[in-house]
Amino acid sequence: MMFYRLRVTPVRRIVTPLIALVGFAAITTAETSAEASPEYPSIIAEAVGASSPPPCTVCHDSPSGGFGTATKLLAKYLESRGLSASDEGSLRTALAAAKGEKSDSDKDGVSDTDELKAGSDPNAAGSSGPPPAEYGCGNVSGARPANVSFAMVAAAAAAFVCRRRRLRS
Amino acid sequence: MSPRLVKRTQRRPKASWAVALLLGVAFFVMAPRAQAYPWMIRHGYTGCVACHADPSGGGLLTPYGRAQSELLMSSRYGHAPAEEEEASRFSGPLFGVVTPPDALLVGGWLRSGYIWNTADGKLVDRRFLLMRADLGAQVKVGHFRANGTLGIASAGSRAQSQQASLSSSADGANLISREHWLGVDLADDTVLLRAGRLNLPFGLRNIEHTSWVRSETRTDYNQGQQHGVAVAYNSAAFRTEGMLIAGNYQLHPDAYRERGLTGFAELALGEHNAVGASVLVTRANADVATSKETFRQAHGVFARLSFWRPLVFLAEADALVTSTSGAGTAVGYTGLLQADYEVVRGVHLALTGEGLRRPKSGAVGGVGGWATVSWFFLPHFDARLDVVRRSGLGAPDTMTYLAQLQGYL
């Protein structure tokens, strides 16, 4: 059905340049991780001296974060001290204020920064609940996702080149 | 060969490289999702089991699924397809270089892109995203199967991948496994019994994993899998899957793990239409979002309708019920309506509307709209542009611009 087809060039005419695409993809994905914005949990851990980043739910009411879900007491306090979305500087400033003011969002007598450092929940007085949620089965600090993805794509490109050579021979 | 033809032939490689460069640029500025396309019902596929290892859709493709990806989904260039055309070797694993034995399915996913977010008109976030870099395999011996994926997640995509983390590196770059399960095929392969980390059988298995029907029911295909036992049944006109949820064992401590059940049933109405219903009931000693004991329910209906092959409607409506210790029971809702129009083969325009009222006392409703263009420019490769506007929920109005490219190896 004519309606249903594009008329450009035969597939084989663009198959070879696909190698360029894959190679290019390898470079871009390698850069992806390198240029990704550091996340707020890591900044919080660094600022308060915690051994691991807190979960997103320390501020958000959704495990995945997202706009409109930063409804926790700590989030409201930090917002009152200038925190805005995706602005690392505003987070550092707000955390500095929390430290200076010894803010205590849940009024349990332990400051927010001390609770963040200890891994307890600054939104729940007494922290009678379980410790903050953690994901994963073990620690492999130093994982290099960009290199792994680069290797995966490079392997695909190499395989593709091999196939082309085999077809030509 | 005439001089004119020679000249044209010499010119083609340059044009081809230009196409590749454009695609490369597209890749450079883009990012996507997983592969699960409920709109394949336009081609008469009311079920998923013929093309996917997962009987309810998504994930590893079977050899037949790989062939259909090339023959039905991707753009064609030049010649008209023959009546009984077979897929090229290009559709095979790693562009056809690898020819695994019948007992083995292999595949890989690579998704990357670029996202811009605005809130109340102000740009608040823009970054590259490595959204998926996974390898997957399935071995089948007799009636038994072992299936799993292993990948990596960058720091930038932590929020959308952490629930599948195997490791817990402090910088957010982690090994992840979204699925891993053992299964046995029964009753002439119409029944599959599985145990492991599985996609939750609920509603549409749509690729828009951030759509509210997926994120608010916590049944997204990107990272919402949980450990448990499931049984699926597939026939020509009816498919269903039920799962006993044991919790996400990649989440600690145990108090946060949700336990319960979920399932769906879908009835085909002819070759191009299907309607279904879903249920989900879970309980956790401490909800991962609130740390409070929570009893969570979602009940809904969904439909896939195509009265004219180029156009498919996908619809889902779910009631959300949450009972939280100390806060009582609250009811909310979420819904999605999507129209997917295949302009020419491989090129899709889609408009999606969604609504949400979270199950919390005093919650404010919100609405969202998506405009999407996607192009399956080669077998297993697609580029996609999304513009998403959301408002309400007591939060700033947001706009998201997402450019993405996905490849399945």
User: Would you state the pLDDT for residue B62?
Assistant: 93
User: Would you state the pLDDT for residue B201?
Assistant: 97
User: Would you state the pLDDT for residue A53?
Assistant: 77
Asked whether the beta carbons of residue A57 and residue B289 sit closer than 8 angstroms, the reply is: yes
Is A147 an interface residue toward B (CB < 8 Å)?
Answer: no
Distances (CA, A) of A101 to A96, A104, B404: 9, 9, 43
The band of B99, judged by pLDDT with boundaries at 50, 70 and 90, is confident
Closest residue by Cα to residue A117 from A56, A43, A47, A40: A47
- pLDDT digit string (tens) for chain A, length 169 residues: 333 444 444 555 555 555 555 554 554 444 333 333 446 887 888 888 887 778 777 887 776 666 667 778 888 888 888 787 767 778 888 888 888 888 888 888 888 888 888 878 888 776 567 887 888 875 433 334 444 444 445 555 555 555 555 555 5
Asked whether the beta carbons of residue A67 and residue B253 sit closer than 8 angstroms, the reply is: no
Contact predicate B154/A35, CB 8 Å: no
pLDDT of residue B32 exceeding 60: no
Which B residues in the span 243-302 are in contact with A, Cβ-Cβ below 8 Å?
250-253, 255-256, 285-286, 288-292
Which A residues in the span 67-96 are in contact with B, Cβ-Cβ below 8 Å?
67-69, 84-87
User: Which residues are paired to B58 by β-bridges?
Assistant: none
Q: CB-based contacts of A153: which residues, under 8 Å, 6+ apart?
A: A22, A23, A25, A26, A29, B110
Helix (H) and strand (E) counts in chain B: 3, 18
Q: Which residues of chain B are within 8 Å of residue A146 when distances are taken between CB atoms?
A: 130, 154
Is A128 an interface residue toward B (CB < 8 Å)?
Answer: no
Q: Which residues of chain A are within 8 Å of residue B121 when distances are taken between CB atoms?
A: none
Q: Chain B: residue nearest A162 by CA?
A: B97
Contact predicate B286/A130, CB 8 Å: yes
- Structural element, H or E, at residue B165: none
User: Would you state the pLDDT for residue A157?
Assistant: 58
Write down the ipTM of this complex: 0.74
* Chain A nearest C-alpha distance from B75 (Å): 6
Which has more confidence, B5 or A79?
A79
Is B391 an interface residue toward A (CB < 8 Å)?
Answer: no
Question: Which range among B84-88, B275-279, B374-378 shows the weakest confidence by mean pLDDT?
Answer: B84-88
User: Would you state the pLDDT for residue B25?
Assistant: 43
Which has more confidence, B78 or B200?
B200
* Chain B nearest C-alpha distance from A98 (Å): 22
In whole angstroms, give the CA distance from residue B340 to residue B349. Answer: 6
Using a 10 angstrom Cβ sphere, with 0-12 exposed, 13-18 middle and 19 or more buried, the burial of residue A23 is middle
* Chain B nearest C-alpha distance from A139 (Å): 5
CA dihedral sign of residues B36, B38, B43, B48: positive
- Structural element, H or E, at residue A121: none
pLDDT of residue B4 exceeding 70: no
User: Would you state the pLDDT for residue A32?
Assistant: 39
User: Would you state the pLDDT for residue B300?
Assistant: 97
Contact predicate B110/B406, CB 8 Å: yes
Is A61 an interface residue toward B (CB < 8 Å)?
Answer: yes
Q: What is the pLDDT averaged over residues B28-56?
A: 76
- Give the distance from CA B323 to its chain's centroid: 29
User: Would you state the pLDDT for residue B372?
Assistant: 97
In whole angstroms, give the CA distance from residue B278 to residue B299. Answer: 6
Which amino acid type is present at position A109? G
* Chain A nearest C-alpha distance from B380 (Å): 13
pLDDT of residue B17 exceeding 70: no
Asked whether the beta carbons of residue A67 and residue B395 sit closer than 8 angstroms, the reply is: yes
User: Would you state the pLDDT for residue B382?
Assistant: 93
Q: The domain B31-408 is classified under which CATH number: 1.10.287.1060, 2.40.160.10, 2.60.40.740, 1.10.10.60?
A: 2.40.160.10
User: Would you state the pLDDT for residue A35?
Assistant: 33
Interface test with B, best of A64, A139, A162, A167 (most B CBs within 10 A): A64
Which residue stretches of A49-144 are H helix? 73-80, 88-101, 112-118
User: Would you state the pLDDT for residue A104?
Assistant: 86
Mean pLDDT estimate for chain B: 87
The band of B348, judged by pLDDT with boundaries at 50, 70 and 90, is very high
pLDDT of residue B180 exceeding 70: yes
Structure tokens at B186: 């029964």
Is A112 an interface residue toward B (CB < 8 Å)?
Answer: no
Question: DSSP strand E in B154-237: where?
Answer: 174-176, 180-186, 191-198, 226-234
Q: What is the pLDDT averaged over residues B336-351?
A: 96
Asked whether the beta carbons of residue A5 and residue B344 sit closer than 8 angstroms, the reply is: yes
Give the DSSP letter of residue A6: B
User: Would you state the pLDDT for residue B98?
Assistant: 80
Interface test with A, best of B171, B210, B221 (most A CBs within 10 A): B171
User: Would you state the pLDDT for residue B3?
Assistant: 44
Place of tokens 């009972």: B323
Phi and psi based region of residue B120 (left: phi greater than 0; alpha: psi -120 to 50; beta: remaining): left
Structure tokens at B367: 């609405």
Q: What is the pLDDT averaged over residues B219-239?
A: 94
In whole angstroms, give the CA distance from residue B182 to residue B193. Answer: 8
Taking one residue from A and the other from B, the number of pairs with CB-CB distance under 8 angstroms is: 284
Q: Which residues of chain A are within 8 Å of residue B308 when distances are taken between CB atoms?
A: none
Q: What is the pLDDT averaged over residues B20-24?
A: 48
Which residue stretches of B136-290 are H helix? 212-215
Asked whether the beta carbons of residue A67 and residue B390 sit closer than 8 angstroms, the reply is: yes
Q: Which residues of chain A are within 8 Å of residue B117 when distances are taken between CB atoms?
A: 67, 85-86
User: Would you state the pLDDT for residue B154?
Assistant: 80
Q: Report the percent of chain B where pLDDT is more than 90.
A: 59
Asked whether the beta carbons of residue A135 and residue B252 sit closer than 8 angstroms, the reply is: yes
In whole angstroms, give the CA distance from residue B63 to residue B105. Answer: 8
Indicate the residue of A4, A20, A134 with minimum beta-carbon distance to B24.
A20
Indicate the residue of B27, B163, B285 with minimum beta-carbon distance to A25.
B27
DSSP B14-60: HHHHHHHHHHHHHHHT--------GGGGGGT---STTTBSSTTS-SS
The band of B83, judged by pLDDT with boundaries at 50, 70 and 90, is low
Is B23 an interface residue toward A (CB < 8 Å)?
Answer: yes
Which residue stretches of chain A are H helix? 11-15, 18-35, 40-48, 73-80, 88-101, 112-118, 145-168
Q: What is the pLDDT averaged over residues B356-378?
A: 93
User: Would you state the pLDDT for residue A2?
Assistant: 39
3-state secondary structure B335-404: EEEEEEEEEECCEEEEEEEEEEECCCCCCCCEEEEEEEEEEEEECCEEEEEEEEEEEECCCCCEEEEEEE
Domain map (residue ranges) of chain A: 1-36+144-169, 37-122
Contact predicate B231/B191, CB 8 Å: yes
Q: What is the pLDDT averaged over residues B236-252?
A: 95
User: Would you state the pLDDT for residue A27?
Assistant: 46
pLDDT of residue B156 exceeding 90: no
pLDDT of residue B161 exceeding 70: yes
Is B44 an interface residue toward A (CB < 8 Å)?
Answer: no
Is A8 an interface residue toward B (CB < 8 Å)?
Answer: yes
In whole angstroms, give the CA distance from residue A106 to residue A5. Answer: 62
